Amino acid sequence: MASMLFSEEHEIFRGAFRAFVAAEVTPNAEEWERRREVPRELWLKMGEQGFLCPWLPEEDGGLGLDFGYSMIVNQELIRGDGFGVGVPLHSDVATPYLAGYGTAEAKRRWLPGCLSGETITTVAFTEPDAGSDLAAIRTHAVRDGDDFVINGQKTFITNGWVSDLNVVAVKTDPSAGHRGISLILVDSGARGFERGRKLEKMGYHMQDTAELAFVDCRVPAANLLGEEGEGFRYLMEKLQQERLEVSIKCQTMAEECLKEAIEYTHTRSAFGRTIAAHQASAFKLAEMATEVELGRTFLEDLVAEHIAGRNIVQRVSMAKYWLAEMANRTAYAAVQLHGGYGYMEEYRICRLFRDVRSLPIVAGTSEIMKLIVARGLAPNSSR
């Protein structure tokens, strides 16, 4: 079904990026899965072609494109087996903090590298004892003259093994709860910045996920993003786009699982006819296709609202919860329709099934999304 969200210019961009993925990502995906990392050369190639941070305004060296182009990058990476490529987090989650709250000097220093692929960014929020409850973080920063001195640990950090610049949530006033949180940029070359383990995960293998540590890590006070104590508010402002980015992943993964199920059930036979011709399988495919179509309609409407600058916090929380669970239902059904072959690594659905399990967890669990939705359901509230 043709999408009303994308213009001819969007589709020209899609064609160019799809060709790039076919040449640079898909042939290497299995090797990157084994190595548990994506080479930096890919980032540099993407930067050279203008595929990183396409939304950055022209005055910052970018193309000034809308979020629809970021959506296309996310979709085509997944369709080309590059689900674990950490570019969407770099382009659409981490770099926006620098662009939105960084000083003019910080932007001059780092944004060119974000565009070229020479500077890989990440967000360092989650801690061993603080995930969805960001107010409970323990990493703290103390002002010392013209510097901040940071101590603490972070975990489950996407791009953490290769990051050059880290957006770190810290407590600058531990007694103030969430009002004591600040965001600070930490260069990976800073004294006292340490990488811990590269974490072994159930799926999402080509994506490096790491532990980070800060041991009397000294950074210039000018690396503070925005105002001290306003970090939690900045997080809330940017989480809308982060959850939308993950929702795009959910929908695209569901579409890919459905595609694999349709192709397999129409070519594999049992009891003298294709698996798709059996009523139980046909009904299951129909259910999967209906949910995927509903998800696509909801998601594209949300993206259009986001591009228009509207507040979609309530609805994107619904989307992130529902699409993540729907993607997992679709993956489960697709594996079941493959029978024993669905459990074999040589079949694409096996990896899709492993990878999709992360989606109800990242960027806020399904349970947290439900709490956000429920709190917005007050009588006479506008939604």
Active site residues: 242
Rounded distance, CA 91 to CA 115, Å? 9
Identity of residue 306: H
**88 burial type by CB count under 10 A (0-12 exposed, 13-18 middle, 19+ buried):** buried
Q: Tokens for 188, please give them.
A: 């990976």
Identity of residue 155: T
Q: What is the Cβ-side half-sphere exposure of residue 34, based on CA atoms within 13 angstroms?
A: 4
Residue pair 267/338 in contact by the 8 Å Cβ criterion: no
- In the three-class reduction of DSSP (H, G, I as helix; E, B as strand; rest coil), residue 194 is classed as strand
Residue 167: closest CA among 218, 107, 94: 94
Q: What is the Cβ-side half-sphere exposure of residue 126, based on CA atoms within 13 angstroms?
A: 17
Identity of residue 209: T
Eight-class DSSP state of 3: -
